[in-house]
Amino acid sequence: DAGVTQSPTHLIKTRGQQVTLRCSPKSGHDTVSWYQQALGQGPQFIFQYYEEEERQRGNFPDRFSGHQFPNYSSELNVNALLLGDSALYLCASSLANGYEQYFGPGTRLTVT
Amino acid sequence: GENVEQHPSTLSVQEGDSAVIKCTYSDSASNYFPWYKQELGKRPQLIIDIRSNVGEKKDQRIAVTLNKTAKHFSLHITETQPEDSAVYFCAAPRGGTSYGKLTFGQGTILTVHP
């Protein structure tokens, strides 16, 4: 049973650049949520995708955008990177009407 | 939206002792309360969860209790072992009953000394 996978593992970008992170959900899951986890903090909800649509969004600016593909995989895009965007980006998969969420290993983004 | 407060921020116990971590939530409509364990450099791992129609749930050495009236829930770990050392996060659904969109507490660093 394939778990949640994310790529890349680590990424270093410069301020002002753009980045794309990728996530494949757990087998059988159709919903992907993205979270940002700053060092020493709990994950913060960015947005959730279901049926290729953004279903709900947290308190993140429009620089953060996403996409979901027909195979349920998802991308997180961040434009005009700021130093404060440095964090661990986690995706979590679930069923559309299910409560349990399972996290991927995360992508560590460093903005210099 | 939901607000989740978690205490304590750090907890140090001797191997074999019990550990208790408490969380309070603000939205009385919340109906699902998971606990995650995150080891250093690893993903958050769902270890136990509880629905609002249940007051307590156990799984071997871990248990979760829920008090809906007081709007708090707790994680109990008995007979702690060094491998229980990690950061533990509680969570509750954003907007009460929203599926899969969680608000997390700030985390508790649990250290179990051999």
DSSP letter string, A32-68? EEEEEE-TTS--EEEEEEETTEEEEE-S--TTEEEEE
pLDDT band at B27 (very low <50, low <70, confident <90, very high): confident
pLDDT band at A99 (very low <50, low <70, confident <90, very high): confident
Nearest Cα to B108, choosing from B90, B84, B91?
A: B90
- B101 interfacial to chain A (CB closer than 8 Å): yes
Chain A residues within an 8 Å CB radius of B50: none
pLDDT band at B53 (very low <50, low <70, confident <90, very high): confident
Report how far residue B52's alpha carbon sits from residue B98's, in angstroms, rounded to the nearest whole number: 14
Percentage of chain A beyond pLDDT 70 is 99
Report pLDDT for B96. Answer: 57
Asked if pLDDT for residue A1 goes beyond 80, the answer is no
For residue B84, the SS3 value is helix
pLDDT, average across residues B3-28? 96
φ/ψ of A72, rounded to 5, equals 80, -10
Report how far residue A43's alpha carbon sits from residue A96's, in angstroms, rounded to the nearest whole number: 20
Provide the token pair at A36.
Answer: 């940002």
Whether omega for the bond prior to residue A8 falls within 30 degrees of 0, making it cis, is: yes
Report pLDDT for A2. Answer: 72
Q: How far is CA B96 from CA A23, A102, B23, B43, in A?
A: 26, 20, 15, 25
Is A101 within 8 Å of B89 when comparing Cβ atoms? no
Return the minimum-mean-pLDDT range out of A27-36, B2-11, B14-23, B99-108: B99-108
pLDDT band at B100 (very low <50, low <70, confident <90, very high): low
Asked if pLDDT for residue B95 goes beyond 80, the answer is no
- B104 interfacial to chain A (CB closer than 8 Å): yes
Report pLDDT for B49. Answer: 95
Partner-chain residue, chosen from A42, A100, A104, that has the shortest CB–CB distance to B107: A42
Measure in Å the smallest separation between the Cα of B83 and chain A Cα atoms. Answer: 19
Measure in Å the smallest separation between the Cα of A80 and chain B Cα atoms. Answer: 26
Report pLDDT for A96. Answer: 83
Residues A32/A23, Cβ–Cβ less than 8 Å: yes
Is A42 within 8 Å of B104 when comparing Cβ atoms? yes
Q: What is the pLDDT of residues A54-73, one digit of tens each?
A: 988 999 999 999 999 999 99
Report how far residue B42's alpha carbon sits from residue B35's, in angstroms, rounded to the nearest whole number: 15
- B58 interfacial to chain A (CB closer than 8 Å): no
Asked if pLDDT for residue B101 goes beyond 90, the answer is no
